[in-house]
Amino acid sequence: MEIQTTNGRAGDADVRALAVAVFKDEKADEGVLRGLDAATGGLIKSAIDSEEMKGKEGETVYLHLGEGREGMKAKRLLLVGVGERGGYGLAQVSQFAGTAARALRARNAKTVGLVARAPDGKEEGAASAAVEGALMGLFELDKYRTSEKEERTIDRLVVVSEGADAGGLRRGAERGRIVGESVNFTRDLANEPGAYMTPTIMAQRAQQLGDEFGLEVDVLDRARMEQLGMGSFLCVARGSEEPPALIVMKYTPEGGAGAGEGLLAFVGKGVTFDSGGISIKPGENMELMKYDMTGGATVMGAMRAVAQLKPPIRLLGVVPATENLPSGKATKPGDVVRAMSGKTIEVINTDAEGRLILADAIAYAKKLGATRVVDLATLTGAVSIALGDVNTAVLGTDQSLIDELSTSTSRARLGATT
């Protein structure tokens, strides 16, 4: 999909369909709606006055404009409710874009314009959020469906922000493209069935990333892990016929970075299928355990984005990839294993495989020089029970790093670009 930006009038956007956000209780003679309402002959005012469009979040009204309307190149207009003006931020921009992109693709619009009504002073961030939201909203989980379906795609997406800095819009849209595509890359990895996303295949995908985006990639096989004394990781892999892989991805900024600047490592759990091992899980919903490599997939997606965004710091991505299955060779409850760090571990429950593989992965990251480690894992359902499916638990031993992570996510929501 081609992505463009414009800081001209919304009505001048050369697209088939134009989507615009509408605040709750907003009038048609306010802001950007005023010019669009005039260009459409009062259709927006009619939709608002009739209360067909009240501006509630997620509400949509689709208008056919016909041909030959002066001041409006688009032939279709989609009004999308975004809720209260006071609560409108970049998260809402992203949601608006996703809703609009899905709705207009379903109506076979090949060229789409998104009027990115940026929160005050955040035009660049809004462009990023709009593109990111549109790309994420268009992601489909239909890769293996065999039923016939009509293929509908958006060929060109235009982000419209009247009067904004043209360079800032382009930078924002490009950042949104990189992040959105990398999120969808992660989703694609995570949704693969275990038979199609083995540790070997996961390592191959990492090597493809390295070739495409200039990352240095190294994959440790069982023999190298044995030499390093990774008994904790290897005890999990013992029950499977599929060989394990320790995936290492390195990013070094252009011009290099001094060793004194430290090395940040992302370490992600990559259990491509988790049966629980000898301590086998209940059969109900076990098919969902193909998702137990989502931490590792997230690391790979993050490194994909990093390689394109090119931050001025060194980064390391480490993914211990393995299956956890029961067999005659599998680790048994009560076994004692020795980790790379030299510590011995008594395995009481083989379904605690995540901490076993991460122990050696983190030790190896430290061996490679990591001074700070962010561990990403699907370790326990208790977190979702405690916090729901929106919030994420952050636990650690370095409060300054925890604070830095929290601040960076807040900055992303508020539209910072650095």
Residue found by looking up tokens 């593989």 in the block: 357
DSSP state of 196: G
Q: Which residues, at least 6 apart from 171, have a Cβ–Cβ distance to it below 8 Å? A: 124, 127, 417
Residue found by looking up tokens 């998260």 in the block: 91
Q: How far apart are CA 62 and CA 64, in angstroms?
A: 7
Burial of 4 from C-beta contacts in 10 A (0-12 / 13-18 / 19+): middle
Side chain identity at residue 48, one-letter code: I
Please answer whether residues 344 and 295 qualify as being in contact, where contact means their C-beta atoms are separated by less than 8 angstroms: no
Nearest C-alpha neighbor of 207 from the set 221, 219, 194: 219
Q: How far is CA 72 from the centre of its chain?
A: 35
Q: How far apart are CA 266 and CA 21, in angstroms?
A: 37
Total Cβ atoms within 10 A of residue 52: 12
3-state class of 214 per DSSP?
coil
In this structure, the dihedral spanned by the alpha carbons of residues 338, 344, 347 and 348, taken in order and rounded to 10 degrees, is 170
Instruction: For strands 245-251 and 264-268, give the pairing.
Output: unpaired
Residue found by looking up tokens 């983190």 in the block: 362
3-state class of 190 per DSSP?
helix
Q: How far apart are CA 279 and CA 236, in angstroms?
A: 12
Q: Which residues are catalytic?
A: 281, 355
Q: How far apart are CA 380 and CA 375, in angstroms?
A: 14
What value, to the nearest 5°, has the Cα angle with vertex 190 and ends 309 and 206? 50
Phi, psi of 162 (to 5 degrees): -60, 125
Please answer whether residues 365 and 220 qualify as being in contact, where contact means their C-beta atoms are separated by less than 8 angstroms: no
